Amino acid sequence: MTYGGFAKTYVCKDKYALHMPAGLDLAAAAPLLCAGITVYSPLRHWQAGPGKTVGILGIGGLGHVAIKIAKAMGAEVVVYTTSQAKMMDAKRLGADAAVHSSDTAQMQQFAGKVDLLIDTVSAKHDINLYLNQLAIDGALVLVGLPPEALEVGAFNVVKGRRSFAGSNIGGIGETQEMLDFCAKHKITADIELINADEVNEAFERLAKGDVKYRFVVDMKTLS
């Protein structure tokens, strides 16, 4: 019997257990078990690294970790956002460039130059704008979960032999690999550590997008 993510003890089979490398702050590393593996898996699968331009769409709970990991892999990292404030934060997180998605001139600067674009947006958006950022044989990989269907123009994928793909978390072995990679490169999530009695307030702030970039509940504060 388990009691959810806030249980004080948890029993599982050893093949499902992960080793948290020494040196990682536990609170800041906790979101890596969700956001970290969600973005690490496609970055690794599509071979992000030196000589590749990787785009990250959205700077939130997933996107901010994706920026750090893609940069640590050696890729040139371009961030796409509709938030002016987050554009300024992109460089702090490790991005080489930040693009305001509503600015046609800025979008044109990287059109046809992005090898891999990780889409972390979980709201309806025009996917075609970003497909047109892809280079020949480029791939746009959806890891966000918009509740509505996304319309894809046929010409936006057949031109340049582009791919529109998806990825959903990863296996235990790859998750351990991700944790070891993050420990080596000193990567953790940007978090706000909150007390258990602040959860409702955190949900309200989350709905407003008022978090940079993950809330983590301090288990010591549970009554």
Per-residue pLDDT of the chain (223 residues; tens, 9 = 90+): 656 667 777 788 899 899 999 989 999 999 999 999 999 999 999 999 999 999 999 999 999 999 999 999 999 999 999 988 888 899 999 999 999 999 999 999 999 999 999 999 999 999 999 999 999 999 999 999 999 999 999 999 999 999 999 999 999 999 999 999 999 999 999 999 999 999 999 999 999 889 999 999 998 898 7
Q: What is the pLDDT of residue 2?
A: 59
Amino acid at 123: A
Q: How far is CA 139 from CA 46, 119, 162, 166, 196, in A?
A: 8, 10, 6, 10, 40
Using DSSP's 3-state secondary structure scheme, residue 172 falls into: helix
Please name each of the domains of the chain with its CATH number. Answer: 22-187 (3.40.50.720), 190-223 (no CATH)
Query: What residues have CB less than 8 Å from 33, skipping those under 6 apart?
Result: 18, 175, 179
Nearest to 73 by CA among 110, 46, 113: 46
- CB 56, CB 78: distance < 8 Å: yes
